[in-house]
Structures are given as structure tokens and as C-alpha cells.
Structure 1
Amino acid sequence: MDGVFDQSASALFSLPPELRNEIWRYLLIHTSSPSPSSNAIDRKISYHPSSPGAGQPHIYANILRTCKQAYTEATPILYGENTFNAHPSLLATLPSFLLSTLPVRLVRPPVTHPRVARLIRKFSLHVRLDTDPRFSSAQAEESFNGVEELEIEVFQAMYGSCDFSVLGLFEGVRGVGRAVVRGSVGDGRYAGWLARSMMCPPGEKPLGFAADGLGGGREGRDVWRDGNR
């Protein structure tokens, strides 16, 4: 990376920047099947390049090592346009490259360099409802305010054993371009409301869940109050 070579004779770098960016996207963006969720609400149109092999990762990150110009141009695409798995407690501080969520969640080793971690704009997070959360609402807001995409996959060991209190930690998140809350979400009303809330502009306070005409509160039993019996 330290060596500087003249790229003026390169056929690749003689192409227009817009065309080179399409090449970087083809090499560096991993596409996965969209979430089958009615709670996904889009405000932005994302780029989804076609995959040469359905479901097969085709990330060629070594292209970043070929020269400084390739690194400079392609790094924001690799980190900014792929989806990363947020850490269960550190959230956006220690994300991992997400290969798939279904049928199992597959990830690469975590990103440890803050400089490139700051480029990440799309996150997926696996949240358990029936265990103590390992992060605060302030951490959730700091990590996810203004991101391009946030998908929260909700899980509980026994259906109906607890309420959605853990998801309340995300009620202060704002400015998300595309929000999805899916999984063990009951009838989906609170999940849909939460997704809409997270996509509200910064500083806007939407109607509360009860005031939004969706019900009297979050569904289910409170496992911490009632016991998991």
C-alpha cells in the first residue's frame, strides 16, 4: 500500500469513475435475500447488484490490496454498502460482516479498525427479549441514529414468555433510512410502530404506541416482573 505506481496506463483506471464504482460493487457487495417482513418500510432505494450464484458470497476484498487508488475508491463501497452484524453489547463499535441471517446467522470476524468501522451504514442486530440487555438506550441511539439501514431480528426462547421492553431501548433512535423489526414480534403492531419511529427525522417525537391507535401497550408478559413460568 505504501508503494506509489503510475496508474495512467491502467485500462481499469482509464474508465470513468462511475463505471469503476459499478465494478467495485460487483466485486465487493454481498447480496442476500430480502427480509420477508411486512414491517420493512423503505425511504431510500438501495443498490442491489445481481449475484452470479444465488446465495453464494462473492466478495473479492483482496482487490483493495492491489494499489492505493483501488483502496481509496473501493473501501467506502465495501464497508458502506454491505450489511454488518452489530455486536450484542458494543453494537456499532465492533460489527462483523454479515453473510446470512437465515437459516443461521453467518458472520466474518469483527471489524476492529475504527476508521473503517465508521464507514458502515447498514446494520443487522439479533435481540433476545428474555435476557437482560447488554446495552443502553443511549448506546443504541449513538450507534444507529442516521444509519442507512437497521434490521432488528427478535428472538425469545419461549413464545409469549416476556414483553417487548428490550425493544423499548430503540424507541429513541431516529433518522434511519430503512428500518425492519421482525421475528418474535407477536401480531407485528408494535414492531411496525417501532420501525416507523426509528425512521422519523431527528428531533421528531412520534405518537406513543398506545396513542398511535395500535393498542394499549407492548404485548406479552413481563418475565422480570411475573417470572418465566
Structure 2
Amino acid sequence: MPFLFHELPGEVRNQILRLLLTHSTPIITCSCNQLAPPKPTNLGLTPHILLSSRRTYHEGLTILYGENTFQAHPSYLTDTVFAMDPTRKVISKLCVSMIRRFHIRVRRDCDPYYKSEDVRRVFSRAEGLEVEVFRASWGCGGYDALEGFSHVRGVKKAKVHGSVGNEFAKWLEAVMESGVGTRTLQFETSEERYDDR
């Protein structure tokens, strides 16, 4: 007898699709003192399952784009989103709208190319947001490049790491995880602004 995938209960189908369409390995980026883009790697995904039927396509698409972490572009945010290989961008607006987990690398010693309002609009209410901070040399650059992220709210799980002080990272994570519309206290500037040991 042929195996009829669609006769399985929905929960079982979703479990199978998650095994084929999601990855648990973290996004691998270059080290903080390298400016080259990350190298593509094989995530072990099997997106060909989406071609088996229209029903599988629609069920699997939300899992593929909604449950994986995608790299947001450091300048264009979600206008240029990719999984691992920057040359293979997600170009479908429908697919981009399904993405709920982001990773972004922010260079601390440069002015950002985006506005604070854009950061708030794009990343608020995300399921996951990882902000990896780096800079070209030690001791330069304040937290101005991260100012836009202090307006983000409603993130389910935020993580800030890299060339950033521990107190500031914890404060920014708490701010981004606070409820939408919540007002928070500004971060108190201290020596930590430049001392990231």
C-alpha cells in the first residue's frame, strides 16, 4: 500500500516537516575582528518536500520560514534576508513576512545605515532576535550604533553579545523583551561604555 502522508494527524505531519525543514545548529558567522561575510554551510534541510503537494507546500512554508533563524542584513535589515549564504537572499515578500527569528551583526564603531524607527518596526514582536556586536579595533565606538535596538519591544527571546559590556547587553535584552508600549529607563553611561572585558 502506498504511504499517504496527508492521512497522518496534523501534529505528526508537523513533526515530520520540522525534522526536514528546521535546523538546530546556530548560525555560524565570522569572528568579530573579520569583516568578511559568513561562509555558506549545509544546514541539512530538505526543502524538496515542499514540492510534493500544494497542501505540504503551504503547511511546510510556515515552518521553514517561521521556525528557522535568518540573517538580517547589517545595512538593509529585512529588505535583504538570507539563511547562510548572502548571495541567496529571500526575495519573496510573503516568505519574508513569515520570518520570526533574526540574527544581525552590528558594527559598533560605525554609524548605522538604518533609522531607529526602521529597527523598531522590523524587529518588534519577533520570536527571536540575536544581536552580535563587533568593532574593528578595541576601545573605539560607543553604543550609538545600537540605539535603534533600544526602541524594539515584544521580542520573545533576545540575545546581545560580542563587543559589548555585560551590563549593557543584559539591559538591552530586557528592554527588547519588555512589552510593546513599555517605557524603560535609559542605560546609565559608565566606564563600561568603552571597557568590555
Structure 2 length-normalised TM:
0.86
Cα distance in 2 between the residues matched to 1:218 and 1:116? 40
Partner of 1:87 in structure 2?
Answer: 73
Say which of 111, 119, 127 aligns to 2:90. 111
Paired AA for residue 138 in structure 1: E
Name the SS for the 1:118 alignment partner: helix
Matches within 5 A, 1:121-140: 121-140=100-119
Say which of 11, 17, 23 aligns to 1:24. 17
Which structure's CA Rg is the greater one?
A: 1
Whether 1:206 aligns to 2:192 is no
Cα distance in 2 between the residues matched to 1:155 and 1:68? 43
- Which runs of no fewer than 5 residues in structure 1 stay unpaired? 1-8, 36-54, 99-105, 222-229
Name the SS for the 1:151 alignment partner: strand
- Which runs of no fewer than 5 residues in structure 2 stay unpaired? 29-40
Answer with 145-154 or 59-68: which moved more: 59-68
Name the SS for the 1:171 alignment partner: helix
- Is the CA contact 1:180–1:195 (under 8 Å) kept in the aligned structure 2? yes
Partner of 2:122 in structure 1?
Answer: 143
Change (3 A) 1:143 1:130: same
Whether 1:11 aligns to 2:4 is yes
More helix by share: 2
Partner of 2:139 in structure 1?
Answer: 160
CA-atom RMSD in angstroms: 2.1
Q: Runs of 4+ in structure 1 displaced over 2 angstroms? A: 215-218
Partner of 1:170 in structure 2?
Answer: 149
Partner of 2:83 in structure 1?
Answer: 97
Name the SS for the 1:123 alignment partner: strand
Whether 1:193 aligns to 2:164 is no
Write out per-residue CA displacement over residues 171-216 of structure 1, whole angstroms, 9 at most, x where no aligned residue.
Answer: 1000000000100113x11111001000110110112212xxxx54
Say which of 130, 153, 160 aligns to 1:181. 160
Write out per-residue CA displacement over residues 39-63 of structure 1, whole angstroms, 9 at most, x where no aligned residue.
Answer: xxxxxxxxxxxxxxxx962101111
Aligned residues: 182
Say which of 55, 78, 85 aligns to 1:69. 55
Name the SS for the 1:13 alignment partner: helix
- Is the CA contact 2:62–2:98 (under 8 Å) kept in the aligned structure 1? yes
